[in-house]
Amino acid sequence: MRKKIVAGNWKMNLDYNEGLGVFSEIINMVKDEVTGAQEAIICSPFIHIHSLVQLAKGYHKVAVGAQNAHQAEAGAYTGETSARMIKSVGAAYVILGHSERRQYFGESNELLAKKTDTVLKHDLRPIFCIGETLQEREANQHFDVIKAQLAEGVFHLDAAQFAKLVLAYEPVWAIGTGVTATSAQAQEIHAFIRKEIAAQYGQEVADNTTILYGGSCTPKNAPELFAQPDIDGGLIGGASLKSRDFVDIIKAFN
């Protein structure tokens, strides 16, 4: 069956020492408090990744990821970081297609398809984000937007490649706003995503795909969200910066 995952997205927060501090606390709490087969992932700024991977050695429930990767293998792209570099410091995951990348850095579905290919080629697992804006939801376009993000971003993959993906549904209107999708709204979209995957790759692949919910997820609302049949965990922004909150969200599975 599919894996239950709680992934933290630190975004552009925490300096080097602060990040190591929060991560050490998370490891200690996960080690002592988290039972079952869940996996915790922290997607940090590039600066932290190497040191976090060292700290996580020996703790199989905790993995480290990046928040972006360039689509090219290498070359004259000042300021960018390649998938090969990310792999070389021991990260396991890369967030792709976050709405902040789509909005502030103009990342299109077409570009994200290329990034997905490059990341998979280097044996990293994409955490591929999709989700509609408030305007799109109010215009009742949310299903079409999600369908296009999947079709243009990841459905070119073959089934074996697709099986490496984690998907994250993050309604843009719920990110950092304190407004969470209701568990019913989130479940409705997650079930739709799984149906789209089944149509493309078959029911078995769909049943094995981990689909995370993201957007103002907290220790308080996580139990109800995670209890939904098609929600397999969370992608956590603000609450992942506080070790206690992040680990309490993982414990929402219990």
Distance CA 217, CA 171 (A): 12
Structure tokens at 162: 């697709």
Only segment of 112-120, 157-165, 170-178, 205-213 that touches ligand 13P (CB under 6 A) = 170-178
Tokens 């044996």 label which residue?
Answer: 123
Is 38 in a helix, a strand, or coil? coil
Asked if 98 is an active-site residue, the reply is yes
Nearer to ligand 13P, 119 or 175 (CB): 175
CA distances from 232 to 33, 93, 129 (A): 19, 17, 14
Residue from the set 131, 171, 215, 233 that interacts with ligand 13P by CB under 6 A = 215
Interface pattern 95-134 for ligand 13P (x via CB under 6 A): ---x------------------------------------
From the CB of residue 59, how many other CB atoms can be counted at a distance below 10 Å? Answer: 14
Residue 212 interacting with ligand 13P (CB under 6 A): no
Distance CA 108, CA 114 (A): 10
Nearer to ligand 13P, 19 or 214 (CB): 214
Cβ atoms of 48 and 16 within 8 Å: the answer is: yes
Only segment of 29-37, 110-118, 212-220, 246-254 that touches ligand 13P (CB under 6 A) = 212-220
Tokens 């984000």 label which residue?
Answer: 129
* Strand 93-96 to 125-130 pairing: parallel
Least separation in angstroms between residue 196's CB and ligand 13P is 21
Least separation in angstroms between residue 65's CB and ligand 13P is 11
Number of helices (H), then strands (E), belonging to the chain: the values are 12, 8
Please identify which of the residues 48, 98, 142, 190 carries the catalytic annotation.
Answer: 98
Asked if 170 is an active-site residue, the reply is yes
Active site residues: 98, 170
Q: Site residues (CB under 6 A) for ligand 13P?
A: 9, 98, 170, 175-176, 214-217, 235-239
